Chain A
Amino acid sequence: GAVVSQHPSWVICKSGTSVKIECRSLDFQATTMFWYRQFPKQSLMLMATSNEGSKATYEQGVEKDKFLINHASLTLSTLTVTSAHPEDSSFYICSVMRQETQYFGPGTRLLVL
């Protein structure tokens, strides 16, 4: 498998501020990472695919200027929610791809007041 961590596990911020979430692959070098969001009692929605050293690929309807993704190294991808608003409150989960299988992090709960 693969071991994935996320930091922070939860964050509360004021509307209009920016929040950075880190996703780390702890036991192997991940060229591809994925970012998802999950609303209460719903399934996961893919936001973007993060590729090391290149620009992320965003899913239709996801604002790339609002959700900034940086995959600067083979073990770290970051998601920055810029100018967060209450509707951005959600559970954000990252995953890494290893041998045709995605392994997920523990998630980050974001609450925007």
Chain B
Amino acid sequence: AQSVTQLDSQVPVFEEAPVELRCNYSSSVSVYLFWYVQYPNQGLQLLLKYLSGSTLVKGINGFEAEFNKSQTSFHLRKPSVHISDTAEYFCAVSDIAGGSEKLVFGKGTKLTVNP
């Protein structure tokens, strides 16, 4: 069974500072990996995804993530955050080899960007 661990429940940073949100997964098979962002009282918006190919994935709003198979990680990074990046971020994995379309989510990381 798959699982996703987001190591930090809350990450406070100052505006224009770099940020890294950590995500580790456990799975015995090949997976697809996703990062979603959720603003208050809204649904989830896809930030980026890794399906295959280059392990460095660039997404919207200046975010990027790197898939590291040996460390089973998919950490999200942004070199300079804005106040508007304050939101909840979810890492998710799906089991492609098993033919499952289901997503398993981490518990989320609340990013707070302070002025």
Contacts and interface: CB of A to CB of B under 8 A. Distances in A.
B90 A49 contact: no
B96 A100 contact: yes
A34 B108 CA distance: 19
B2 interface: no
A101 B101 CA distance: 8
Interface of B: 32, 34, 36, 41-46, 49, 51, 90, 94, 96, 101-103, 105-108
A107 B42 contact: yes
Interface string A37-49: 0000011101001
A93 interface: yes
B44 A1 contact: no
A88 B105 CA distance: 21
Given A1-B46, A101-B49, A104-B44, A43 B108 contact: yes
Q: Is the interface of A mostly helix, strand, loop or mixed?
A: strand
Residue from A4, A49, A100 whose CB has the most chain B CB atoms within 10 Å: A100
A101 B46 contact: yes
A105 B36 CA distance: 13
Nearest to A105: B43
B42 A43 contact: no
Interface string A1-16: 1001010000000000
24 contacts: A32-B101, A34-B103, A42-B108, A43-B90, A43-B108, A44-B90, A46-B103, A91-B41, A93-B43, A93-B44, A95-B44, A97-B101, A100-B32, A100-B94, A100-B96, A101-B32, A101-B34, A101-B46, A101-B51, A102-B101, A104-B36, A104-B44, A104-B46, A109-B41
Contacts of B45: 104
B41 A107 contact: yes
A83 to B, nearest CB: 26
A34 B96 CA distance: 17
B43 A107 contact: yes
Contacts of B44: 44, 93, 95, 104
